[in-house]
Structure 1
Amino acid sequence: MIKGIGLDMIDLDRIQKAVTKNPRFIERILTEKEQQLYKKYTGTRQVEFLAGRFAAKEAYAKANGTGFGAALSFLDVEILQAKDGKPVVEKPAHPEETVFISITHTGRSAAAQVIIEGNK
């Protein structure tokens, strides 16, 4: 049974400005394992990766029904890669749930959709 659906989109320029203004923005959004993936990329691809993870985590929070705040932070959700490269939520807020995720990028933006499937 579908518990929640979330969708988010963000401009790459907004993410680039956030990183330029405060390089610690990366540490606020990405877990240590996600940062390791981020560091494998350079230039525009890094911005796309960070923006994609930002949008995916926002979409997850929306699907979870909580948003970000006291109950959930960006670091509470970890999105890594399966062997075939597709994104996988490794650290969902509720481990008993199944999470489906899709991330996409264009030259100007990144977007993500999340579907959370629960047992109830």
Structure 2
Amino acid sequence: MIKGIGIDLIELDRIQHSIQRNSRFAGRILTQSEKIDFDALKNNRRQIEYLAGRFAAKEAFSKAAGRGIGKLSFKNIEVTANTYGAPVMNVAGYENWNIFISITHSRDYAVAEVVIEEKD
């Protein structure tokens, strides 16, 4: 049974400005594993897209779960990739839920959608 659906849209410029204003911004959003992947990206544009996608995904999850990001921590939500490169979301405390995620980018925006359902 579907328990929730969430979507989030973020401007890439907003993420870029946040990084420029606060050098610790990425570290506040990303888990340790995500931060390693972020730091490995050589292209600044790709780093912004990566961070924006993770930010949107975590916001979308909080909406799907019916809880604000203030009730959840960005650090409790991790987005990795499966063997094909598709995003996979793991959330501490939500191991009994199936979580489906999609992330996309355009020139100006990143969008993420999350659907969560109860495991049978």
Tell me which interval the TM-score lies in, with the shorter structure as reference length: over 0.9
C-alpha separation in 1, matches of 2:48 and 2:37: 12
**Structural mapping, 1:30-69, within 5 Å:** 30-41=30-41, 42-69=43-70
Greater shift in the superposed pair: 81-90 or 105-114: 81-90
Quick check: 1:9 aligned with 2:9? yes
Query: 1:88-116: CA deviations, max 9, x gaps?
Result: 01335411000000000000000000000
Match of 1:25 in 2: 25
- Do the aligned partners of 1:77 and 1:93 also contact (CA within 8 Å) in 2? no
Match of 2:112 in 1: 112
TM-score (ref. length: structure 2): 0.95
- Do the aligned partners of 1:52 and 1:104 also contact (CA within 8 Å) in 2? yes
Give the letter aligned to residue 107 of structure 1. R
Query: Share of identical aligned residues, percent?
Result: 48
Query: 1:2-22: CA deviations, max 9, x gaps?
Result: 000000000000000000000
